[in-house]
A and B are shown apart, each in its own frame.
Chain A
């Protein structure tokens, strides 16, 4: 399928959304960081009884470490509240546009029927994989630089 066409027709299910790691708003910042390390995730959803209230990402980790924030306080105090989301029926193109526009690398996916219920997370790495997979396979074999030296046929 044409790449352009697939960007606007395929849904975000194609960009490998991950089952999100969710935490309660009352969990401590320290516990959340440890959870992110053990689960090897770059972002967690903060959910209050299925209702998405915020996200906490690597960028937030960097900030709390830099500011030496008290890590025993609840994650609610340090999360990014009301995150930008995508619907589970959004297209790949829409998700990429939203990520590029806001500089987000993670977008919680919410149910199109119940917009407060998070069902997954789009990670920029999934988007990257999607783009790479939609290249012609020969790109994998391309040398990074063109090694073209002679503009003229030899002997011509």
Chain B
């Protein structure tokens, strides 16, 4: 089976010179979709196929102390800052270490928006898992909010992807 890299059509006849659906030339890119391998799964499955975690959210007037306590209590590595349900930023463990540091114990009353990462990278439910993984790798992120329009509906973490990899590759758990 041949997959078109431009439009994702997967019912092409091997050897065709251009995609039947989007007419992209295929002469220099024969991609075989491996039958039932982890690689094929990563190419096929979408972000929405990963387990959903209700994102922890705080409003723009939340304090650093609230954010820290909420993350520890929830056992999560990041929380989302929203204004009228729209995503404006993300506050992660990394931000706590790099932006708060040792002063963090004295900054509990400060607004968390001062220390968050604004306009974070996001994905949507229809994106391929391979794409999400690549975004994480390029940006060095361990969490990505999953968006529906401007509203975050889920957060996926690198841990979800590792678990996905082990579940789709029995040898990894041995």
Contacts and interface: CB of A to CB of B under 8 A. Distances in A.
Interface stretch (A17-25, A78-86, A113-121, A122-130): A122-130
Interface in A121-156: 124-125, 127-129, 131-132, 134-136, 138-148, 150-151, 153
Contacts of B127: 144-145
Interface string A85-103: 0000000011011011101
Interface stretch (B50-58, B82-90, B130-138, B148-156): B130-138
B114 interface: no
A12 interface: no
B97 A132 contact: no
Interface string B10-25: 0000000000111000
Contacts of A141: 5
Contacts of A100: 159, 162-163, 165-166, 172
A7 B172 contact: yes
A131 B162 CA distance: 10
Interface string A45-78: 0000000000000110111111111010000000
A147 B29 CA distance: 18
Interface of A: 2-4, 7-8, 30, 33-34, 36-37, 40, 42, 58-59, 61-69, 71, 93-94, 96-97, 99-101, 103, 105, 124-125, 127-129, 131-132, 134-136, 138-148, 150-151, 153
Interface of B: 5-9, 20-22, 29, 31, 37-39, 42-43, 65, 68-69, 71-72, 77, 93-94, 96-98, 100-102, 104-105, 108, 123-124, 126-128, 130-131, 133-134, 136-137, 140, 142, 158-159, 161-163, 165-166, 169, 171-174
The 6 closest A-B pairs by CB, nearest first: A146-B8, A66-B68, A65-B104, A93-B172, A100-B162, A58-B93
15 contacts: A42-B94, A61-B93, A61-B104, A96-B162, A96-B166, A101-B166, A101-B173, A124-B159, A125-B140, A139-B43, A139-B130, A143-B6, A144-B124, A147-B6, A153-B21
